[in-house]
A = this chain, B = another copy of it.
Amino acid sequence: MPRNRGVVFRGANNIVVEEIPYPNFELNVPEQHRKCPHGAIIKLIATNICGSDLHMVRGRIPPKVGTVLGHEMTGEVVEVGPDVENFKPGDLVSVPFNVACGRCRNCFEGFTSACLNTNPLAPGGFYGYYLGGGWQGGQSEYQLVPYADFNLLSLGSKSQAMPYILDLAFLSDILPTAFDACYRANVQVGDTVYIAGAGPVGLTAAACCLQLLGAGNVIVSDYEAERLKLAHVMGCQTVDMNSIAGKTHGLRGMIRSLLGGGKLDPLVEAATGGEKYVDVAIDATGFESCGHHGMSRQTNEERSEAINDIIRVCKPAGHLGIPAVYLPGDEAVSDTFGKVRGGLTLDWGIAWQKGLTVTQGQCPVKRYNHHLMNAIYGGRLQVAKYLNTRVISLDEAPAAYKNFSQGAAVKYIIDPHNMIPTSAKKAAMADPSASS
């Protein structure tokens, strides 16, 4: 039985790489004990650091001490349980971050994000996550994936996959998450889309709009200049939030100015008194995003800023998508309403009057990953090169966490067995401005 090592949470801002047990076909944790004859053991090839890992690392939603982190996994099957019928050792696979059974009503209806069978605490299981049901995280060398026939996505042969491995690595989370946000928020061909937040999910959402959904125009905002530069290279218009901080109607004015080029239906403009709205607005910031001068948002007003912004810039009868995480219970907030209920103070009168439709929540990865894989293989979608993607070793993970937590405009992929070919790394790290 091989050695296994992983990235382990030892307390707030205390992340270490240490030896962990090699998985078997059993989940054996205080949360739940169960056999997994339907499981597969995966040798990780690419296992990414996600923005939502930061919520835990910073201690805002602390997991149990000793938890192995990580839920964005791509790898090779090395062993399967007795009930696995469709996978065998050697298969190259992507693992959705949702732990799903494929047997409950929610899974069948496509809501693998609310599986009724993998987390006794609430619908929806997660690997390596706060209240996720106790499933081991995947920033490690080897990992167990239960209900393997249902959860694993075959990536085809290695020779086909490895040149695309950095983009394929995003099939486990941020690519479906970003696509789901745009798709459920009804982005249509030719639409103008506003995206708050140019982190990995925000940028990937922009890529989905431009490359897959035929959006006419994508506007991305952030407080970080480095992130906005990536958005610009991809072909987006950008809004530097620092430039409008404190200004009444600052964002609406900015949008109006950006859309002044006459690209919208003139009739719409006339009838709305010259006001310019976007068709769809996406919040890719979330409950822990930072505001002006990198200050953490702690008042209700600040915590509600991004959602109130998308309410204001969206057209009547438009759509809002909220892939960014908001949770009940947020210890860092001062008042009880925020702390216990995760409440927000929202401009709902405006949202109602406009008749806005809101879609939100965890993405059910399995609905999209097969489609997105085929788009990558067809040459329709390129994301890694726009995210400033860096491939690192397992031992480099703690330093990467520190850097990412400080707002670096970078996406880290851990390569625990040094299997990702240099050519793939180079392709992703090339200056994207050359190819856009």
Contact = CB atoms under 8 A, between A and B. Distances in A.
A346 B358 CA distance: 14
B374 A191 contact: yes
Given A189-B212, A214-B211, A287-B349, A272 B102 contact: no
Contact of A215 (B101, B329, B349, B380): B380
Interface in A24-51: 37-38
Given A344-B348, A348-B307, A105 B268 contact: yes
Interface in A97-117: 101-106, 108-111, 113-114, 116-117
Interface in A5-27: none
Contacts of A267: 86, 104-105, 116, 154
B357 A358 contact: yes
A347 B328 contact: yes
A406 interface: no
Chain A contact-residue range equals 35 or more
Given A265-B154, A317-B111, A37 B83 contact: yes
Residue of A113, A210, A270 with most chain B CB atoms under a 10 A cut-off: A270
Contacts of A150: 102-103, 108
A343 B343 contact: no
Interface in A327-371: 327-330, 337, 341-362, 366, 368, 370-371
A263 B377 contact: yes
Interface string A264-297: 1111101111000000000000010000000000
Contacts of A325: 352
B342 A344 contact: no
Given A37-B83, A114-B317, A316-B123, A375 B326 contact: no
A215 B360 contact: no
Interface string A367-394: 0101111110111110000000000000
A213 interface: yes
A248 to B, nearest CB: 12
A370 B123 contact: no
A199 interface: no
A192 B375 CA distance: 10
A216 interface: yes
Given A37-B83, A273-B120, A358-B358, A352 B370 contact: no
A182 to B, nearest CB: 10
Contacts of A217: 374, 378
Nearest to A277: B123
A246 interface: no
B120 A317 contact: no
Contact of A322 (B105, B328, B352): B352
A244 B351 CA distance: 29
A188 interface: yes
A421 interface: no
Contacts of A350: 328, 341-342
B322 A190 contact: no
A67 B65 CA distance: 59
Contact of A348 (B191, B264, B342): B342
14 contacts: A38-B83, A102-B150, A104-B268, A106-B317, A116-B270, A156-B266, A189-B371, A263-B378, A300-B345, A337-B345, A345-B345, A346-B348, A352-B361, A357-B358
4 tightest Cβ-Cβ pairs between the two chains A and B:
A342-B349, A355-B361, A116-B271, A190-B374
